[in-house]
Chain A
């Protein structure tokens, strides 16, 4: 049923605006915590909706931040489709709030002018009035409202100023749809648009005919949709394009010139600047932060700080979580029937989920820093500083953040690649970020380095520490190499566009940073948790059954399904120096790398009835001897294993998220094959090189 906007009806209000205009802050202010975050079907664009605080029946849809409604990027496509009722399951909004940055009126009004063309009721939220004031900019609100023909609400969402006025505008009587904006196309193009507006099928409402005609003329994406909806109109557009091309009329650029021609006049009339022309705080900050020498050094310092935080500040919290999980398991044991159920729940589910939850402090810290970088405007500078280098390596400045995120976890890294507007850049970035050593590899590194790399001092450093740094470097360098190969041989051609705003620096909105951190962490826990919970129970069963008839625990590991698989693939793993136990442990960790630690613990403790006073895993590994009486582990085996874990893709969550972000199994399959292939080849090389050096 169509919504007539009456107060008892459900009303849908869309927030549209450029990136970096405080749209998220406004959305949070309007909805509080009553938000729902999901995805638009079939595209990796976040769909955020929420109920208006204190006004039941009003739903706010936060559209992706875009500079234009002409659908070139995925974000623009979604914004366009929602606003024109083309998105399945999304009714056309009843009201559009055009969120505009008062300090940058001219460029912001470009999108507003496109919104006015749609024929929907529009309210302009003139945000960041406090920043405009600080910069000595004065905006004549009444004149702006008169020029655009729609209500304009001056506000500052982060201080709450004007939010009540906007609320009244949203919940009150809907304003009349705006008059057709007074911008004009150049004479060479106008007749073509008029002719096309008349050629549209009769079901297109009069108020939308002109903008539909212009869209089809200037955008191939929009035109393509007409091929099935109205072949006659489609043919007419192609004919008009040919005629315009023949007349050398720049019809694709005519819209920009027409709109800006109109808007420049409006901006001049309504904005006055106080005389002082001092550089803004933001400009002064940029002199340092993007300085040719200081800029990169400060960026490096920030990375070191983030690493320090993620790897050492998180430790106490991680230890606490580990203790809590163990205590929780111990608490459960007496409550559960002995044997199968107890093992399945405590040793399987609780331990397995605990293995993932233990990374939560690191992931929260990483998300916190990333959110801070985004919210302050520094993120765009990292792309600006790094673009040249990254492009030489086959990536883009926008790949920096996904790569850094992946040091914590490839899942947020892959999700962060959404900001790359070029599809090839995005695919390449997603394909290589899982090579960055994530926090799940850390327990593996720590266990094997601690057990087998001698604690020698090398100058002021320890050999163990240097080995750890070397593993991180190895993964990072391989990510660059893989990107180079993909760009050179698979995704040939130019890197995507790098046309990016460097937004003014702003003080972070702690609430926004906090909500975003919690949102993303929740997504990680739910996704990872679901997979790990099921999988760790399955693995526990496979490692515990079938039961060896003698009941001798020493033979149980070998007798179990996991042990048999280990035996079966041992011939393939032998060239890397692995026996059946290591092979079995690797198999169990194909779903999640860190599982190898608990798998080895299971396999090795199976040889001992003592539970509480067992020697630690490290010593057991060191003391293990094979059938030939020689130690199973040598430096060569340890190096081989470490390198295998640097490269091999053993993470079901990464594959699942890559499938979602890349829309199919093809690239995730390639990802798994090339990474695991690299792991095998380099582990083999490392094992034999180390043996040749006498470390075997």
Chain B
């Protein structure tokens, strides 16, 4: 599953990403092994507000679909 499939409040761990993921996403720390929480979706469902490495990162669904995650139990 990908970041885009998480529900608000879900915590997950990044497991991989599609080859065409923008490098900016990786530079901001969304790398395999990183813990990430979906804090909320924007009022119209897109973009997402993610908590990663102690800060809030906003990604569109289009980019979020490129990041694979495993939800934490």
B15 to chain A, nearest CB (A): 14
Instruction: Report the minimum CB–CB distance from A257 to chain B (whole Å).
Output: 6
Report how far A256 CA is from B23 CA in the complex, Å.
9
Q: What is the CA–CA distance of A389 and B34 in the complex, to the nearest angstrom?
A: 31
Q: List 13 A-B contacts (CB under 8 A).
A: A104-B55, A106-B53, A110-B27, A290-B42, A380-B58, A384-B47, A388-B44, A497-B24, A498-B63, A502-B49, A502-B55, A503-B55, A504-B55
B residues in contact with A500, CB < 8 Å: 57-58
Cβ–Cβ < 8 Å partners of A502 in chain B: 49, 55-58
CB pair A384 B58 closer than 8 Å: yes
Q: Are A384 and B31 in contact (CB-based, < 8 A)?
A: no
Residue in A closest to B58 when the chains form the complex, CB atoms: A500
**Are B47 and A72 in contact, CB atoms less than 8 angstroms apart?**
no
Closest B residue to A20 by beta carbon equals B55
CA of A385 to CA of B56, assembled, Å: 14
Where the two chains meet, the residues of A that have a C-beta atom closer than 8 Å to any C-beta of B are 67-68, 70, 72, 103-107, 110, 252-253, 256-257, 260, 283, 286, 290-293, 295-296, 380, 383-385, 387-389, 397, 494, 497-504
- CA gap between A587 and B30 in the complex, in Å: 56
Evaluate contact between A498 and B59: CB separation under 8 angstroms: yes
- B28, A67: Cβ atoms closer than 8 Å: yes
- Find chain A residues with CB under 8 A from B40 CB: 286, 290
Tally B residues with Cβ within 8 Å of A: 30
In the complex, how many angstroms separate the beta carbon of A643 from the nearest chain B beta carbon?
A: 32
Q: Which of A260, A295, A387 contacts B47, CB < 8 Å?
A: A387
Q: Is the CB of A499 within 8 A of B42?
A: no
Within 8 Å CB of A385, what residues of B? 42-43
Mostly, the A contact residues are helix
* Nearest-neighbor residue (CB-CB) of A259 within chain B: B27
Residue of A nearest to B41 (CB): A292
Q: For chain B residues 35-49, which have a beta carbon within 8 Å of chain A? A: 39-40, 42-47, 49
Asked, given contacts A72-B23, A501-B58, whether A107 binds B29 with beta carbons under 8 Å apart, the answer is yes
* A-binding residues in B (CB < 8 A): 22-29, 31-32, 34, 39-40, 42-47, 49, 53-60, 62-63
Q: How far is the CA of A107 from the CA of B53 in the complex (A)?
A: 7
Contacting residues, chain A, for B42 (C-beta < 8 A): 290, 384-385, 387-388
Contact A257–B28 (Cβ < 8 Å): no
C-alpha gap A388/B55 in the complex (Å): 22
Closest CB in chain B relative to A464 CB, distance in Å: 35
Q: In the complex, what distance in Å separates the CA atom of A110 from the CA atom of B55?
A: 14
CB nearest neighbor in B for A499: B24
Instruction: Specify the chain B residue showing the minimal Cβ separation from A250.
Output: B19
Task: Assess the B63–A107 pair: CB atoms within 8 A.
Answer: no
Chain B proximity of A248: nearest CB distance (Å): 10
* Complex CA–CA separation, A425 to B33 (angstroms): 33
Is A293 in contact with B43, judged by CB distance below 8 angstroms? yes
Complex Cα spacing A53 to B57, Å: 36
B55 and chain A: residue at smallest CB distance: A104
**Which B residues lie within 8 Å of A290 (CB)?**
40, 42-43, 49
A-B contact sample (16 more), CB < 8 A, given A70-B27, A387-B47: A107-B55, A253-B23, A260-B31, A283-B39, A286-B49, A290-B43, A291-B43, A293-B43, A296-B43, A380-B58, A384-B42, A494-B62, A497-B24, A499-B63, A500-B57, A504-B55
**Whose C-beta in chain B lies nearest to the C-beta of A108?**
B55
A499 touches B22 (CB 8 A): yes
Which residues from chain B contact A252 at a C-beta distance below 8 Å? 23
- Chain B, Cβ-Cβ closest to A389: B44
CA distance A397 to B54 in the complex (A): 24
Q: Are A499 and B28 in contact (CB under 8 A)?
A: yes
Beyond A290-B40, A293-B43, A387-B47, is A260–B56 a contact (Cβ under 8 Å)? no
Q: Is the CB of A384 within 8 A of B49?
A: yes
